[in-house]
Structure 1
Amino acid sequence: MLPNRYDFREAEPRLARFWELNNVYGYDPTGSGQHFTIDTPPLTVSGQLHIGHCYSYTQADVIARYRRMRGDHVYYPMGFDDNGLATERFVEKTIKRKATEIGRDAFIDACLELTQQTEGRFETLWRRLSLSVDWRYRYSSISHDARRVSQWSFIQLHRQGLTYTQFAPTLWCPECQTAIAQAEVNDATLPTRFATMAFRLPDGGILPIATTRPELLPACVAIFVHPDDLRYRHLIGKTASVDSGAFSGAPQLAVPILADELADPSRGSGAVLCCTFGDSTDVRWWHTHHLPLRAVIGRDGHMTDLAGSYAGLTVQHACKRILTYLEETAQMISEETI
């Protein structure tokens, strides 16, 4: 006889135990018939689960149950991505200490301990939600097997001649002191200063150039214009200079004026600084035109010796100081906030 009221607190754990004891969601790799695999991206161990996780994994679970009802052998494991920068940052925030402060071995131990605790909580919640996962196949990216497979894969690529080393720019985090992937970068639109400065030409004329990155002036290696821009076609092959005594270690910074179709005549003055490196276009020009490399921002996020008297300043501080210098030396044409 059914009770008058459904007690989910009693019924759901009881049914979950029954499903587990009877291996209702177990995968039989030797079973005959069609096999259906669900390869969901492993959860990043970088915080706590929220309602969005529940929504997204419910969708996968609906598919798993549907395929079982059709008679398929469903392989539905659950994994955790605990071998990366996101997890390292999570551990540092939790223990309130940097990895560099406690040493490699102690930090690895802290990561393993905290990730195991966190993944245990994740599994408890997923089991409470009754996701139809075969928990016998739980895995993590920091496990010995996962790391061995990754290493084996790299070795195979290397043996096939598909790996190489190259000195090249990359996204770098001065706080974490490591290269990072584009997926780990959070883009944000912020107000900034749009400054137009005066570069001097050999005949005494002025070439106006606008930039939002004045701190990269010490890293300027060229100026680009569009080859069809009639305003500047006669300047291609010549040089332009700016008084840089305070921020480059030399009285003047003189660079060649080159032509490239990537220069947009409608942006700013149409003449573009190429600094190593402000964006991906700078990287392309550096490669294509065989330009020199001037690394003016160090791995610690501070200006290098190439910045002259501004060496050691933060990027933000150097930006303000260079703008002030340009104004004081009458090299600033205009400035606005965009």
Structure 2
Amino acid sequence: MTFEKHDMDFLAGRRLRRPRMAGWSRDLMRENTLVPGDLIWPIFVIEGQNERQEVKSMPGVERLSIDLAVEAAKAARAEGIPAMALFPNIDPSLRSEDGAEGINRDNLICRTLSAIKDAVPEIGLVADVALDPYTTHGHDGVMRGEEILNDESVAILVKQALVQAQSGADVIAPSDMMDGRVAAIRGALDDEGLEKTIILSYAAKYASAFYGPFRDAVGSGARLKGSKLTYQMDPANAEDAILEVEQDLAEGADWIMVKPGMPYLDVCRMVKDRFDVPVFAYQVSGEYAMIAFAAQAGAIDREAAMAESLMGFKRAGCSGILTYFALDMARKING
């Protein structure tokens, strides 16, 4: 391809960096913005009173007792964060092969949901549906030998979803990756008069190396027997995610989750473009830890890397982002 002289004259007069030179003009040109309303804050909860435990593999993240989780919810509300996601670290004596504690109406998560909803009703509460915080083997479903049993797991997950919704969860978020669980949960919620409860399906959840710090935080890491590759997705596949999303939407999912986030921004964009539904991404524990530890080492600027990484999710088409940076990011945005 060749340019005529008038083309060259035009190109010579065009300066793409000219509008970048002042803050006000950069603001006018900005294609994506990040606000506190884009963020969901995941927190870890433990038993006790005024109890907090450092998660050593996630600098700056703590496990909180229920009373402190309520205070965290108040802080989130003050900064304009619309929702929180709750994950338990339970007494190891309560773990079992079938994860029965997960369906106990008086378990740690159910009591936390009720306490926060009573104190801070404006905050949306997202409840994780999976058995790994409750099983002795660390898997998201029940096992026979080395096999994860799909239908038997779904039956338990439905009961887990019901007790969570009855305890105050606004959003049920199945992260287990069993087939058919969205339809089963939707049907059960509707039958119990909980048809207003949203389902946020972890439809595209990959068997990722980036979950390590999370498993430490909920106490399942050292217990995990084998891998989750037989039910979570292969990191090499993208079109497979489209099939998962299509199935979960057909079964009644309201929102779709891609997890992890940053290594799978292409999947976020594919899902958004193909289905035009609310797409959420989880900036998982390993992603958070990389930024936090690199900042501690002086390798990067923590706040700048935090903001840049979260903007990447917005650019990829995400409606919301689960991130451990939520409170820090909201405070930065709010000045």
TM-score normalised by length of structure 1: 0.23
TM-score normalised by length of structure 2: 0.24
Higher helix proportion? 2
Greater Rg over alpha carbons, structure: 1
